Amino acid sequence: MRGIIADGSATGYSWSNVNFIDWLMSSESCICVLETWFLFAVESLNEREHKAYTKSVLLAMDPHLDNCPIILSSVTFELFSHYLATKKKKGGGHLSVQTCDGCRSALMHMY
């Protein structure tokens, strides 16, 4: 992801996508959207190590290499909109339009 967009944006997008990947991993029906090599790499990590590793993988992604932890062709509108619908603000309540747009933008930068 680095080199395509500004470093600050890449870091922000990677944290947004770390949250998306965590959500995918927490659902048995959605875990199939993640690459097997990624699942093997994180299976023995604690939460902090998992987030740090996932962020580093996302920042190292290259469009010419097959190193994206998500099978992007399997991410449907239904899946992503379900993810957004389940996200809540820290104090409760629904996300703002700007937050949803940021999540969408982060996902789009992986394609």
Cα 63 to Cα 42: distance, rounded to the nearest angstrom: 22
What integer pLDDT is reported at residue 110 of this predicted model?
66
63: amino acid identity, one letter: P
pTM summary value: 0.80
pLDDT tens-digit series, residues 14-71: 888 888 899 899 888 788 999 999 999 999 999 999 999 999 999 888 877 888 999 9
Determine if residue 10 is left, alpha or beta; phi over 0 gives left, psi from -120 to 50 gives alpha, anything else beta.
Answer: alpha
Question: What residues does each domain of the chain span?
Answer: 7-108
> Is residue 81 scored above 80 in pLDDT?
yes
